[in-house]
A and B are shown apart, each in its own frame.
Chain A
Amino acid sequence: NAGVTQTPKFQVLKTGQSMTLQCAQDMNHEYMSWYRQDPGMGLRLIHYSVGAGITDQGEVPNGYNVSRSTTEDFPLRLLSAAPSQTSVYFCASSRDRVSEQYFGPGTRLTVT
């Protein structure tokens, strides 16, 4: 039982490049979400999903897309990377929207 896994652990992108951050969970959780953590800002919700095929925007969705084709996977796509997207990205999953959320180890992204 691996919990929540994320790849890659580190990534450097140039401005304008696109990429996908991968997230998977093996706990059969319906609810999954993406956060970014910036120094002094705490974690902010980017997108979330209440189940396969259903996604919605969080507080800071601009520049990111998500999809949820299976219960297990919830990838986050950066469409055209900008330096403002330099951050640590955490994926989380939970049984439902009011239960404790379990985090993946994070992806540290730098955009130059």
Chain B
Amino acid sequence: RKEVEQDPGPFNVPEGATVAFNCTYSNSASQSFFWYRQDCRKEPKLLMSVYSSGNEDGRFTAQLNRASQYISLLIRDSKLSDSATYLCVVIALYNQGGKLIFGQGTELSVKP
């Protein structure tokens, strides 16, 4: 079983749609939680951190449920520029360091 599992993609949605991504993680000792986006052949870029209290940044809302080990991302009013691969990321402690554990990514394609 993968340490971080995401909805399989791709998601093809029209502009203006609301889309939700889900993610589960297996390590209950995971420390921190994030959503990153990655455009084709570029570096992952931080989209937002995820907290149990939930957090919102414009059209994006993220939620963490530690009891269920579940992370979600909601994108409202999708734009063409939202097309990318969305990565659910968990930080687990690793010896003296912290290791980012990435989900396999969910591809989003927003169409006109």
Instruction: Give me the interface of A with B, judged by CB distance under 8 Å.
Output: 31, 33, 35, 42-43, 45, 48, 50, 54, 56, 58-59, 88, 90, 92, 94, 96-106, 108
Could you tell me the dominant secondary structure of chain A's interface residues?
A: strand
Contact between A106 and B49, CB atoms less than 8 A apart: no
Interface size class of B (residues with CB under 8 A): 20 to 34
* Contact (A31, B98) CB under 8 Å given A97-B93, A100-B32: yes
Within the complex, the shortest CB–CB distance from A7 to chain B, in Å, comes to 14
Question: Assuming A92-B100, A106-B43, what are 16 further A-B pairs, CB within 8 angstroms?
Answer: A31-B97, A33-B97, A33-B100, A42-B105, A45-B100, A48-B94, A48-B98, A50-B97, A56-B96, A58-B94, A94-B98, A97-B97, A98-B32, A98-B91, A102-B46, A103-B43
Within the complex, the shortest CB–CB distance from A33 to chain B, in Å, comes to 7
Q: Does B66 contact A (CB under 8 A)?
A: no
A92's nearest neighbour on chain B, judged by CB, is: B100
Q: Does B86 contact A (CB under 8 A)?
A: no
A-B contact count (CB 8 A): 63
Point out the residues of chain B lying under 8 angstroms from A97, CB to CB. 91, 93, 96-98
Chain B residues numbered 40-82 whose CB sits less than 8 Å from any CB in chain A: 41-46, 49
Point out the residues of chain A lying under 8 angstroms from B98, CB to CB. 31, 48, 94, 96-98
The 4 A-B residue pairs with the shortest CB-CB distance in the complex, in nearest-first order:
A97-B98, A103-B43, A48-B97, A98-B31
